[in-house]
Structure 1
């Protein structure tokens, strides 16, 4: 059978995992690219048995990297969320966890020159336009993956990757509060529609009859909740001006409640058709912003009144801390930046194969 070989790096970025490609090694046409990615990950089967996906949305992600033409940017990062059980790819959102692996991958690919000690990688998230600076540990001129930093949702420890997010407000919709309201009602549920790093529809857990401390497995088994939540999410999509597509993963949905431990509050984040096992980096930034926004459904959950503030959000596998720099102007909120520490690890590199019937390239096609 004739197949097409595609060079790739396979990394864990934060609490997600995915394939990292050089843009030159993939087809330029978006519809062909989608077919290549669904074939590579094995979309259409709950176990992704015929591809490299892992049967969960956090393991069916792709990062497509290329040198940036902008003088103050090193690498352009284009994200693709590949579906598990449907042969679909969503190019609208970005992913902050996978972004944690962009710096190391760009260095490994030779896109960014390595420095001795630490390497600063200036990244543009193509999907949203956000600017992110990543500081990667590179002692002796090589990426270091081992270290003492731990993040909830990932076993063991690794070297830290420091991420500094800028220009994150209104990435998709153009506004912090795209509907113009800090709080509104959809189908009898009060929500806040907010766009910081990721468009998000936020509600209180108690309004769905939840405690907010349920496990991801318990929530995924609660079909009545999803049946109640999804029409609200789709109406939020329409009101936020994102579009009107039942297959799009944006906006995401989250429920919040009072902290169960030492964090500021508890959140459950939906991807949106499953509960995230921990919490997305972009979602964490948006939830922190929501809690700092006067009048939102999360208003009052965070005690911080002055900037900067470290907002600690509890999730099903622990907690995540977001360093927020902001300014309040009466009832409005100006967000300057958000910072997080994540980890990443190179798992494999080489070539993956897709059927030649999906995509054939004369220099890549081989006999298998």
Structure 2
């Protein structure tokens, strides 16, 4: 099979984008196709176009939305690495940044001057996003100077806003009703203090101090904590109603991580970050590896949790309750802004990102229908 596709960099992720007219609409057939496209059965994805890391083994199917007031629908796929599976239960804000630029570049959304607005719906979660793409001079740009923590390479500026992000997956900002609560897991002794929040994505955030950590650890140390952080995710999935007791919770949601007070550290790009340069330390998992920066949906959740008195973020933050939060990630500081706050969380959460179209390609892949036969 010959499948047209476009590779984009959105923020700190890379994502292959497919037009919905070129791929199967049936989810099971689409999953078989993506497994073949990415070479997902191989842990290094050698016989496919995957990047063999959670941030580079992503895909999205893009089409014109039939919903009033929206321009684009996109279905996000987290493609397995070493497994013939695809995770469909989450969203990716970084890929959404690339989807917005792609939609303008491919003429799915008309340019409207120096800035072009793209209204999008994530099919997986129902999340509504608004992107503002830099189209200075009334044209689509192939390169740009906007940078984000995690890469020194520039891209086209895209402002990404999550609209009314609370409760999209579970129906409530606080699925258990508690701002913070104790948690014990089989993988380690002692009691952890966690906040379980659904905003942007379902997350379970562990108070780093309760775990004997700081929240500003280097990635190598976070990597050593993956086994018990997976236990936290599994326990939280059951408490948040994302999985049934005894059911495999999967590796995508809730997103799990550590939060702690700001401390001086050195970013993965070698930059010294002083404690006064940011408000909260965060170290998140991406599937089952430490995220090199932070997923945008996780950033939305952290910023929203900063507004909740009694939460682990509120307790550790240097700016508790403030609408603008500077998040210290392994790659550097990401600023997130909440506006129009209400009892169920902010109505708008915005992050400034960058995107770039890397290539248009025709991917050659074995026909999964023949493989099944």
- Where do 1:107-256 residues align within 5 Å? 107-187=104-184, 188-220=191-223, 222=224, 225-243=225-243, 244-256=247-259
Corresponding residue number in structure 1 for 2:283: 268
Alpha-carbon distance between aligned partners in 1 of 2:30 and 2:283, rounded to the nearest angstrom: 32
SS class of match (1:116): coil
Retained in 2: the 8 A contact 1:7–1:25? Answer: yes
Corresponding residue number in structure 2 for 1:21: 18
Alpha-carbon distance between aligned partners in 2 of 1:278 and 1:253, rounded to the nearest angstrom: 14
SS class of match (1:84): coil
Corresponding residue number in structure 2 for 1:44: 41
Compared with structure 1, are the counterparts of its residues 95 and 88 closer, same or farther at alpha carbon in structure 2 (3 Å cutoff)?
same
Corresponding residue number in structure 2 for 1:61: 58
Alpha-carbon distance between aligned partners in 2 of 1:148 and 1:64, rounded to the nearest angstrom: 27
Using structure 1 for the length normalisation, give the TM-score. Answer: 0.90
Q: Deviations over 1:64-88 (max 9, x none)?
A: 1111111200010111111112111
Q: Does residue 1:334 correspond to 2:360, yes or no?
A: no
Alpha-carbon distance between aligned partners in 2 of 1:182 and 1:211, rounded to the nearest angstrom: 20
Q: Deviations over 1:117-145 (max 9, x none)?
A: 22111111111112111111223443214
- Identify which of 303, 326, 329 aligns with 1:315: 329
Gaps of 5+ in 2: 185-190, 264-274
Gaps of 5+ in 1: 361-368
Compared with structure 1, are the counterparts of its residues 136 and 359 closer, same or farther at alpha carbon in structure 2 (3 Å cutoff)?
farther
Retained in 2: the 8 A contact 1:252–1:271? Answer: yes
Corresponding residue number in structure 1 for 2:355: 344
Compared with structure 1, are the counterparts of its residues 53 and 196 closer, same or farther at alpha carbon in structure 2 (3 Å cutoff)?
same
Q: Deviations over 1:324-364 (max 9, x none)?
A: 115465xxx531210111000111102112102x147xxxx
Alpha-carbon distance between aligned partners in 1 of 2:364 and 2:210, rounded to the nearest angstrom: 47
Q: Deviations over 1:244-302 (max 9, x none)?
A: 32434111101001112210010001123111001111100101111221111122333
Number of residue pairs matched by the alignment: 349
Alpha-carbon distance between aligned partners in 1 of 2:180 and 2:134, rounded to the nearest angstrom: 42
- Identify which of 88, 91, 94 aligns with 2:88: 91
Compared with structure 1, are the counterparts of its residues 359 and 119 closer, same or farther at alpha carbon in structure 2 (3 Å cutoff)?
farther
Alpha-carbon distance between aligned partners in 1 of 2:92 and 2:111, rounded to the nearest angstrom: 24
Corresponding residue number in structure 1 for 2:262: 259
Retained in 1: the 8 A contact 2:91–2:124? Answer: yes
Alpha-carbon distance between aligned partners in 2 of 1:359 and 1:170, rounded to the nearest angstrom: 38
- Give 1:12 shift: 0.3
SS class of match (2:315): coil
Compared with structure 1, are the counterparts of its residues 326 and 137 closer, same or farther at alpha carbon in structure 2 (3 Å cutoff)?
closer
Compared with structure 1, are the counterparts of its residues 55 and 305 closer, same or farther at alpha carbon in structure 2 (3 Å cutoff)?
closer
Q: Does residue 1:354 correspond to 2:365, yes or no?
A: yes
Q: Does residue 1:34 correspond to 2:17, yes or no?
A: no
Compute the RMSD of aligned alpha carbons: 1.7
Compared with structure 1, are the counterparts of its residues 140 and 335 closer, same or farther at alpha carbon in structure 2 (3 Å cutoff)?
closer
Q: Does residue 1:12 correspond to 2:9, yes or no?
A: yes
